[in-house]
Amino acid sequence: MDHASTMNQLDALKQWTTVVADTGDFNQLDAFKPQDATTNPSLILKAVQKPEYAPLLQDAVNQFRGRPLDEIMDRLLVRFGCEILSIIPGRVSTEVDARLSFDTAATVARGERLIALYQAQGIHIDRVLIKVASTWEGIQAAEQLERKGIHTNLTLLFSFSQAVACAQAKVQLISPFVGRIYDWYKKTAGATWVEADKAGANDPGVQSVQHIYNYYKKFGIATEVMGASFRNAGQITALAGCDLLTISPDLLASLAASDAPLTQALDAGKAQAMDLQHVHYDEAGFRFAMNEDAMATEKLAEGIRAFCVDAVKLDKLLLGA
């Protein structure tokens, strides 16, 4: 039996796509051998509430007691990032406080500070992606950071218009959210939703990423596309061939446990042959396009709110430590 026929889906996926682990729980990383890792406020909050990570939080507080809370928070995030980077060969994504999502200058300042903290730990600038919400203000901040040589990962991305604005800003990487798009359409459809009809390539979240990927490849846009926020393995396998996919440990485990055949779904060569129209947005055009897209408008707002709630909870844990 040849090697290909015994390959599990995770190994098969790695032939075409860079696999990224979506977790703050760095003890789980070794099992899946991801290239990169991503974190967010919710994942870090989840991790520091586990007994094995509590000392990291206590340590950050003890070491920097008396400093501003936002600085202690950033030092904790960088501490997790450094632990992750000691395990993986590639890059870690660390998120700017979601409460700054509509403040370009503050986002730039926070991104610069995170990078300075990483560099103080001997981490090379190219091993860190600063995660920023894909608001108009966030995208402008990312453009400024990129000009300074600081690479960014634009997150909470739900629409084609956000992807176009990110491409214009020449950001390093975008994270279109597959599962949250799927959630919105499923909830909106209610009783009329038929799961089987919306699976795989028919999933609205999958289709959104396909559209963005094809557009980027058609027009030679260098920004990397990393599908994110998956609800099931079918969403992942339907995007095999995407530049990167960031996947939770649970879904990494389910891919590793499956030996069902996997085929490449996205292909840069095929995308280049497609008949697609080039789009450009100024601020007014971007805001109008977002406003026309109820799903993207609602999911972006909801995502920022949820990350803010978890940032406040993390603040409270730091204050109580």
Residue positions annotated with a catalytic role = 131
The size of the chain, in residues, is 321
d(CA 9, CA 201): 17
How far, in Å, are 120, 156, 257 from residue 169 at the CA level? 28, 16, 39
Which DSSP symbol is given to 177?
B
Radius of gyration of the chain (CA): 19
- In this structure, are residues 215 and 221 in contact, taking their beta carbons and an 8 Å threshold? yes
* Pair of tokens at residue 51: 């007994």
**How many CB atoms are closer than 10 A to CB 26?**
24
* Backbone angle region of 67, left / alpha / beta, with phi > 0 → left and psi within -120 to 50 → alpha: beta
